[in-house]
Amino acid sequence: MSVCSICSKPAKAHDLCGKHYMRMRRHGDPEFVNRPADWGMRSNALERASAAKDRIYERLFAEQNGLCAICGMPETCTAQNGHEFRLAIDHCHESGQVRALLCFACNAAIGMMMENPERMRKAAEYLEKHVEKQHPEWISDELKPAPMRKCSVDGCNRIHESYGYCRKHHRRIIAGRTMEPHVCKQCGNPMPDSARIIAKFCSASCKMKWHRAQGCYQSDVLAQASVRKCSVDGCDRPHQAQGMCRRHYMQKWHAEHPGASHKSQDAA
């Protein structure tokens, strides 16, 4: 019979007697006596619960010499950032009583087995039975994995999709195109794999250069050239009024009407 880790009375759950177990559930600390002034703060309650859990972990860790209670090996699993996991505190999900410290693999294994001893015994018997009867010549050719089929186009190592071609070359056949590399009409560079089949240019700049070379933008050039300019020498601003741009027109108007206010300037 297990005893309480604090007072040596018969343990009820989590290696604690009834009194200390209720103190841990209510206050987060089995050794709670007086309520501190900051007891109502959630952060402090979590810290006390974490401290009680750390005490149980340290005691079991010392008893097991830092090894898993099932496989007898230290924890080897690490997180993505390289931080090494510590042994898990295994407990009964029905009674809540702490059992021992287990490594990640053993703890996950008994969880996947629904903590059923009979199922785990059958699994062990199954493995022992088939390990003894395993022979390489028993493996059927039908069960062997087939080699991965590749695209039939020379130089293409993509996975086969349909009619002996990968997805890229199969789409070219559907579009009625040849197997020649898909290149840009302007610069001649190969098109990226993500480009659509009907795409003709690798970028917007190449598209604009090609259309300008074909004379597609001449109407815009002529329209810009036909814009009336300011009649003042050296001024290329567009015409505003009386043959001048807005700047020179306003200078002339203020010179002719000293002290007056132009309505367009007031509106601005």
**Average predicted confidence (pLDDT) for the chain:** 78
Q: What is the mean pLDDT of residues 19-44?
A: 70
Residue 267: predicted pLDDT: 43
Question: What percentage of the chain carries pLDDT values higher than 70?
Answer: 74
Residue 247 scores a pLDDT above 70? yes
Task: Note the pLDDT tens digit of each residue in 96-134.
Answer: 888 999 999 999 999 999 999 999 999 999 888 877 665
Residue 240 scores a pLDDT above 70? yes
Residue 268: predicted pLDDT: 43
Of residues 239 and 106, the one with the higher pLDDT is 106
Two tokens, residue 38 = 């900051």
Task: Note the pLDDT tens digit of each residue in 171-180.
Answer: 777 766 656 6
Residue 140 scores a pLDDT above 70? no
Two tokens, residue 24 = 């841990």
- In the chain, what are the domain boundaries? 18-119, 149-180, 183-223, 227-259
Task: Specify the fold of 18-119.
Answer: His-Me finger endonuclease fold (3.40.1800)
pLDDT band at 223 (very low <50, low <70, confident <90, very high): low
Residue 266 scores a pLDDT above 70? no
pLDDT band at 41 (very low <50, low <70, confident <90, very high): low
Indicate the pTM of the whole model. 0.38
Task: Note the pLDDT tens digit of each residue in 71-89.
Answer: 999 988 887 777 788 899 9
Q: What is the mean pLDDT of residues 209-238?
A: 72
DSSP string, the chain: --B-TTT-SBP-BTTB-HHHHHHHHHHS-TT--S--TTTT-HHHHHHHHHHHHHHHHHHHHHHTTT--TTT------B-TTSPBPPPEEEE-TTT--EEEEE-HHHHHHHHHTTT-HHHHHHHHHHHHHHHHT--GGGS-TTTSPPPPPB-SSTT--PBP-BTTB-HHHHHHHHTT--SS--B-TTT-PBPPTTS-TT---SSHHHHHHHHHHTTTTHHHHHHHHTSPBPSSTT--SBP-BTTB-HHHHHHHHHHHSTT---HHHHH-
